[in-house]
Amino acid sequence: MLHIVNKSPLDRNSLDTCLATAQGGSLLLIEDGVYAATNDNAAAGKLKQAMGQLKVYALKPDLEARGMADRVLDGVNLVDYGGFVDLVTEHATCQSWL
């Protein structure tokens, strides 16, 4: 399953809920969700721990738009819009966490 989070971990609990219930698969952070993929944020530890069971991706254009492209956590894979489409087609199901 592809889990998609688009809310900042500082604004909503979408990422926490996703990480608490996800049973493997991949996690894609988009829009304000990309803040979770950066160093020195409140969710960094939780995201690093989740990397043991989830493959984590972040949408690079959204990181760039927020001036955060140079602060990405080790282990987070960056994708462009084409990579976003590829992830959706590679997974049988997608869950958006709002």
Residue-wise pLDDT for 57-84, tens only, equals 999 999 999 999 999 999 999 999 999 9
Task: Indicate the pTM of the whole model.
Answer: 0.96
Q: Which residues of the chain have pLDDT under 70?
A: none
Helix (H) or strand (E) holding 49: helix 44-50
In this structure, are residues 32 and 9 in contact, taking their beta carbons and an 8 Å threshold?
no
Estimate to the nearest angstrom the gap between the alpha carbon of 48 and the chain centroid: 11
Estimate to the nearest angstrom the gap between the alpha carbon of 69 and the chain centroid: 14
Q: Which residues contact 88 (CB under 8 A, 6 or more apart)?
A: 2, 94
- What phi-psi label fits residue 75: left (phi over 0), alpha (psi between -120 and 50 degrees) or beta? left
Structure confidence at residue 81 (pLDDT):
98
Domains along the chain?
Answer: 2-97 (3.40.1260.10)
Buried b (16+ CB within 10 A) or exposed e, 5-20: bbbbbeebebbeebbe
Q: Report which of 31, 26, 30 is spatially closest to residue 75, judged by C-alpha positions.
A: 26
